[in-house]
Chains A and B, each alone.
Chain A
Amino acid sequence: MRTGVLAAVMCVGFSAGVATAEGDVTFDISGSFSADITQIVNSSNVRGVEPANSDWLDGYLLQTVDAKIVMAATAREKLKGSFALANEVSFGLPDDNDVAALRKRGSTTFLESAYLSYLCGDPQDSRADLTLGYFSYNYYPDSRVLGGYLFKTGIHPGYIISGNIDPKLRGLLFHARMREFLHHNIFVTTPENDLSLTYLFRAVAESFSLDAAFMAHRVVPYFEGKTDLAKEEANQSPLLHGYRDEDGTRIWYKKSGFKLVGRLTLDFKKMLGLNEERFSSQAMRLYAEAALLGIKNYPGYYERISERVPVMAGVSIPTLKLLDVLAFEIEYYGSPFYNNPIDEPKPLYLFEYSQGTDLAPSNMIHPDTSDVRALIGEHGKGDNIRWAVYAERTFGKSFSVGLRVASDHWRERSAGWYEPLEMLHGPDEWYWYLNFTARL
Chain B
Amino acid sequence: MINLLRRTSITLTTAIAAVLCTAWCAQAELIDLDKFDLSLLMYARAEQIVKSDIRPEMGYPDVRDMNILDRGLYTVVGGRLGLSALLTERFSGYVCFDGHIWTQPVGEFQPRSITEVTSGGVHEAWARVAFGDIERKPFVLTGGLFNYRYATQMRDLGEYLFRSGVYPGYVFSGSEGYELLGLWLKSTAIPNMTHELFFTSIINEVPNFDLSPSYVGHVNIADVVTVGAGIMFSRLISVREEYTTPDSAITPIAREYVEGHGNVQYTHRGIKVMGRIAIDPKPLFNARLFGPEDLKLYAEAALLGTKNYPKYYEEPAERIPVMFGFHFPCFKLLDVLAIEFEYYGTQYMNDPYNNGVPIPGISRGEEAPSTDLEDHPGDADNWKWAIVAEKTIIDHLTFSAIAARDHYRIEDGNGYYQPHELTVMPGQWYWGLGLKASF
Contact = CB atoms under 8 A, between A and B. Distances in A.
A112 B17 contact: no
Given A4-B10, A111-B79, A170 B101 contact: yes
Given A7-B20, A114-B42, A416-B118, 15 more contacts: A4-B16, A11-B23, A14-B24, A71-B81, A79-B394, A81-B42, A83-B42, A83-B79, A85-B120, A87-B13, A114-B78, A134-B101, A193-B73, A222-B114, A440-B23
A110 B77 contact: no
A115 B437 CA distance: 10
A108 interface: yes
Interface string B423-439: 00000000000010101
A18 interface: yes
Contacts of B77: 111, 114-115, 133-134, 170
B99 interface: yes
Contact of B437 (A87, A116, A193, A231): A116
Contacts of B248: none
Of B37, B38, B437, most A-chain CB atoms within 10 Å: B437
A75 interface: yes
A319 B395 CA distance: 52
Contact of B33 (A20, A71, A440): A20
Given A71-B38, A227-B111, A111 B101 contact: yes
B17 A8 contact: yes
Contact of B97 (A67, A85, A133): A85
30 contacts: A1-B13, A3-B17, A4-B16, A4-B17, A5-B17, A11-B17, A16-B23, A20-B26, A20-B33, A24-B395, A29-B20, A73-B439, A79-B396, A79-B397, A83-B99, A85-B99, A110-B99, A110-B119, A111-B79, A114-B79, A116-B437, A132-B44, A192-B114, A193-B103, A193-B116, A222-B114, A223-B114, A231-B64, A235-B64, A239-B112
A111 to B, nearest CB: 3
Sorted nearest first, the 8 A-B pairs with minimum C-beta distance are A73-B439, A111-B99, A83-B79, A4-B14, A114-B79, A7-B17, A109-B120, A18-B23
Contact of B67 (A18, A81, A222, A226): A226
A416 B101 CA distance: 12
B18 interface: yes
A18 B116 CA distance: 33
Interface string A86-117: 11010000000000000000011111101110
Contacts of A79: 394, 396-397, 437
B4 interface: no
A87 B103 CA distance: 21
Contacts of B120: 85-87, 109-111
A361 interface: no
Contacts of A112: 99
Interface of B: 8-10, 12-21, 23-24, 26-27, 33, 37-38, 40, 42, 44, 64-65, 67-68, 70-75, 77-81, 97, 99-101, 103, 111-114, 116, 118-121, 394-397, 435, 437, 439
B437 A109 contact: no
A228 B77 CA distance: 30
Classify the secondary structure of B's interface with A.
Answer: mixed
Contacts of A72: 40
Given A16-B20, A18-B27, A114 B100 contact: yes
A110 B118 contact: yes
Contacts of A4: 10, 13-18
Contacts of A25: 396, 439
B85 to A, nearest CB: 14
Interface of A: 1, 3-5, 7-8, 10-11, 14, 16-18, 20, 22, 24-25, 27, 29, 31, 33, 67-69, 71-73, 75-76, 79, 81, 83-87, 89, 107-112, 114-116, 132-134, 170, 190, 192-193, 222-223, 225-228, 231-232, 235, 237, 239, 343, 415-416, 440
A33 B103 CA distance: 29
Given A83-B81, A85-B81, A416-B118, A31 B16 contact: yes
A212 B183 CA distance: 58
Nearest to B105: A193
Nearest to B18: A7
Nearest to B6: A107
Contacts of B68: 226-227
Of A5, A86, A114, most B-chain CB atoms within 10 Å: A114
Contacts of A170: 75, 77, 101, 116
Contact of A14 (B27, B74, B121): B27
Contacts of A7: 14, 17-18, 20-21
B78 A111 contact: yes
Contacts of A73: 38, 40, 439
B15 to A, nearest CB: 8
A11 B24 contact: yes
Contact of A223 (B17, B99, B112, B439): B112
Nearest to B34: A20
A67 B114 contact: no
A18 B27 CA distance: 7
A389 to B, nearest CB: 32
A69 B79 contact: no
A327 B20 CA distance: 33
Contacts of B395: 24, 75
Contacts of A3: 14, 17
Contacts of A89: 9, 13
Nearest to B42: A81
Contacts of B394: 75-76, 79
B292 to A, nearest CB: 21
B38 A27 contact: yes
A114 B40 CA distance: 10
B378 to A, nearest CB: 28
A98 B33 CA distance: 51
A83 B40 contact: yes
A341 to B, nearest CB: 12
A4 B15 CA distance: 7
Contacts of A228: 65, 67
B112 A27 contact: no
A126 B172 CA distance: 45
A310 B101 CA distance: 30
Of A67, A71, A84, most B-chain CB atoms within 10 Å: A71
Contacts of A232: 64-65, 111-112
Nearest to B14: A4
A67 B24 contact: no
Given A4-B13, A85-B99, A111 B119 contact: yes
